[in-house]
């Protein structure tokens, strides 16, 4: 069985941004948590984070920003993707 890479999905609408990052193992989870800690330190928005199981034994960490008037969530996503070396995000 091959280990799937970390991937991300972005959803946004007026004043709302959601970033979902999927992973397959504990090493990837540690990478994601470290990256989130780094980028969220700079964030001025309130956010909610939670995790969930998805298909094929994978899990996902979801971070939601509400009242995102200045689209700061998109900036956070770009920084997160750069740290995690994610080249393309699904939306």
- Domain locations along the chain: 7-84
Quote the pLDDT of residue 62. Answer: 94
Say if residue 16's pLDDT is above 90.
Answer: no
Whether the pLDDT of residue 1 is over 50: the answer is: no
Q: Classify residue 3 by its DSSP letter.
A: P
**Averaged pLDDT for residues 28-47:** 91
Strand partners, 7: 22
The pTM score is 0.84
**Cα–Cα nearest to 7, from 68, 47, 56, 65:** 56
Q: Is 7-84 in CATH node 3.20.20.70? A: no
Q: How far is CA 91 from the centre of its chain?
A: 12
Query: pLDDT category, 88, cuts 50, 70, 90?
Result: low
What is the rounded radius of gyration, in angstroms, for the C-alpha atoms of the chain?
13
């Amino acid at each position: 069985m091959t280990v799937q890479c970390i991937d991300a999905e972005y959803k946004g609408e007026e004043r709302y941004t959601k970033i979902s990052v999927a992973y397959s193992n504990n090493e990837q989870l540690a990478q994601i948590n470290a990256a989130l800690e780094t980028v969220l330190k700079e964030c001025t928005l309130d956010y909610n984070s939670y995790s969930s199981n998805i298909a094929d034994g994978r899990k996902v960490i979801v971070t939601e920003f509400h009242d995102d008037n200045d689209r700061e969530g998109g900036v956070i996503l770009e920084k997160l993707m750069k740290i995690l070396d994610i080249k393309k995000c699904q939306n």
